[in-house]
A = this chain, B = another copy of it.
Amino acid sequence: QSSLTLFGVADAAVSYYSAKGVYYYSPVASLPPVATPIEVGRSLTALSSGGNASSRVGFRGTEDLGGGLAASFWLESGFNQDTGANAIAAFSRRSTVSLSGGFGELRLGRDYVPTYWNESVFDPMGAVGVGENLIKTVSGSIATVRGPGSLIAPNDNAIRASNSIGYFLPRNLGGFYGQLMYSLHENVDSNNVPGSPSSKGRYYGGRFGYANGPLDVAIAYGESTAADTTTLTAAGIATGARFSDKLKTINLGASWDFGILKLMGELSQVRDSTSTVTPVRGVAGPAVKENDKYNGAMLGMTVPVGPGMFKASVARVNFDNDLGPVLPGAPDRDASVSKLALGYVHNLSKRTALYATVAQVRVSNGQNNPAIMGIYAGGLANVAGGTASSGIAPRSARGYDLGIRHSF
Binding site for B on A (CB under 8 A): 2, 4, 6, 8, 10-14, 40-47, 57, 59, 61, 63, 65-66, 69, 71-73, 75, 77, 79-97, 99, 108-110, 162-165, 184, 186-192, 197, 348-349, 351-352, 354, 380-381, 403-404, 406, 408
Contact = CB atoms under 8 A, between A and B. Distances in A.
A109 B43 CA distance: 21
Nearest to A99: B404
13 contacts: A2-B351, A10-B97, A12-B108, A40-B190, A42-B189, A65-B348, A71-B348, A81-B97, A82-B162, A84-B95, A84-B162, A89-B89, A97-B406
A97 B12 contact: yes
Nearest to A191: B41
A197 B57 CA distance: 34
A45 B183 CA distance: 11
Contacts of A46: 163, 184, 186
Contact of A109 (B84, B89, B190): B84
A352 B71 contact: yes
Nearest to A66: B349
Contacts of A82: 95, 108-110, 162-163
A8 B88 CA distance: 15
Contact of A189 (B8, B43, B90, B354): B43
B61 A81 contact: no
This chain's copy number in the assembly: 3
Given A44-B186, A163-B46, A408-B73, A79 B95 contact: yes
A84 B110 contact: yes
Chain A facing B: main interface SS: strand
B189 A83 contact: no
Contact of A73 (B44, B91, B406): B406
Contacts of A189: 42-44
The 10 closest A-B pairs by CB, nearest first: A84-B95, A84-B91, A10-B73, A83-B162, A12-B108, A10-B97, A41-B191, A88-B88, A71-B352, A47-B163
Nearest to A95: B84
A8 B59 contact: yes
A260 B8 CA distance: 45
B85 A90 contact: yes
Contacts of A86: 89-90
B90 A408 contact: no
Given A11-B97, A84-B92, A44 B187 contact: yes
Contacts of A96: 10, 12, 81
Contacts of A77: 84, 87-88
A99 B348 CA distance: 10
Contacts of A348: 65, 69, 71
A281 to B, nearest CB: 27
Given A47-B108, A163-B47, A187-B44, A87 B84 contact: no
A185 to B, nearest CB: 9
Given A47-B162, A47-B164, A83-B95, 13 more contacts: A6-B6, A10-B97, A12-B97, A12-B109, A40-B191, A45-B186, A75-B79, A81-B95, A82-B95, A85-B91, A87-B92, A97-B406, A99-B404
A97 B404 contact: yes
Contact of A191 (B42, B57, B87, B89): B42
